[in-house]
Structure 1
């Protein structure tokens, strides 16, 4: 968006000095696209408008409007104020210059000249207005894109009605409610759920929870991410151990004397191997349901339990 390439700009300067800028750079089309207030109503008025330049109050007012529209769209700091007298333009020119420098579009970089000289030439001030109009169009497009992205992010944060319905359905199933009454209100729904949950709570062992305290929404999201990473790590390690087990058993079958008994060995091995599954789904909810005696149970039962059932034993 910003004009930073001086070599290209010098070529641009040579080009504009030998061409009709209002036509070449579609100045009128850009002006129509931006729909600015105080803009010339016809192409003929635009030519007269550019010819009069800073000597006319209309040109000054339009330039101020254009600069401030650009300031809003591109979120610039510099504001250009209209001069009190068209014969005293020092303050206006200084603010105009500051805005162009903030845009990285200074006349010295664009045209190799000062802003005063630029405004004194019909061709150069036409080119300058064209540059500002194009910058304004670009800034508005970028602002529109950013607004659309922010809208998408906002929509992502709003719960999807389908996902909410699925969560409620899962909640009902977990407490033993097969079907909800039609046209049930939220108050009636919670009145229905409360006794079911209280009944389930009574069945929980009289021990302290393994995890105590409360977490924020962000912390729960972090816990979910950590749990996913732990499950992935567990699965990789379990798959490695299972692969080693399969390879070890197969290595015994390489022996010529054992090959004759391969079918007999596999009949014994497969029923033992099949229950060993590397994909275990332990949710945060299951961790929350664990009691503080779970880790003690694991030490006691470790020798008797299948290593791949470790997480299930703890929970």
Structure 2
């Protein structure tokens, strides 16, 4: 639990005295008797309530009561924790950790919800941002306030001038040469959105595998004492990974025909850069691990195969003289069973 709290606090930008596991556990052991713990609860509560007035950190009773009311208002899922906190009955260090985990998780969720409109605004302004990058690369004036037709004309003319300065065949032919109608462009955008959602799902799966793998490294006794160093080294790189695909229709239009040719890794042009001394090492005999479908035997049948009855055996041999059909009168029923 303390590792999760430290990760969330790091994402929230907390840089107080309880950013280490040992200090956090020690402060939770003393609860509201620790000024560092009271300060952290105050820091989380003030951001959750959007209060400009910082709670009095020197008064642990007030901080405890305010935190109890906040847990009750936010419908804390830990049964009875809010009421016990208001009554001053919380003494266990684990329950103090739960208070921090709940408050930090709520603040993290709130920041994610608040930042969502900003992301949508970025997507709406993506075209303007790309135009600014184009104008900066071509050394053209800023596109703000300019007519779109004049802007694209200036970009086209500047690109043509630069292409003439390049060697012949430096820029290959485009891979996409078709001319689409407006409805076809809309359909292309829809297909691109479906593919982006699929790639995002796959990226989420790969990142989750990465998180689980890194988490498994901390199970050993040697790693437990260095878990803070591992978190600092990993979290920065982890949250720099983008889950959303950045490939768009613009990349399709910019693609050249050389992307359509697949070269084998064993080709001579590739081997000039990938060959090394280890390629001359031959592997010896290795154990046979099987895996050949043609050599796998079929499983035994769950039921025996049906066979035709042989003459003179069982009830089929005396059908006319007391069998199940012709001779049922010769027997009698007793308790659900048939006797001859």
Q: Which TM-score band (shorter chain)? A: 0.3 to 0.5
Q: Which has the higher contact order (CA 8 A, sep 6+)?
A: 1
TM-score (norm 1): 0.36
TM-score (norm 2): 0.34
